[in-house]
Amino acid sequence: MLIGVTGYFPTSQGRGEPAGNFGGGVNLWLAEHAALRLEVRDHVSNYHMTNGNHYISFRIGVTFR
């Protein structure tokens, strides 16, 4: 489970836009000391008091132990 704060830059106003994010991820262990990390996050903003905008992001990485 992932929960955090995000800032989008720039906006039409020229300033950053605060947003929250949540999501999750998994490690797919390919070897004893290396894994492929897959994550999905939903960035939610309430810019200009609208009903909220959702921006989905996907991330791929490598994990070592």
Distance of alpha carbon 6 from alpha carbon 29, whole angstroms: 29
pLDDT(59) > 90: yes
Strand blocks (E) in the chain? 2-8, 17-31, 34-45, 53-64
Query: Quick check: 35 and 62 in contact, CB under 8 A?
Result: yes
Average pLDDT over residues 30-52: 82
Q: pLDDT by residue (tens digit) across 7-30?
A: 766 556 666 677 888 899 999 999
**Spans of all domains in the chain:** 2-9+25-64
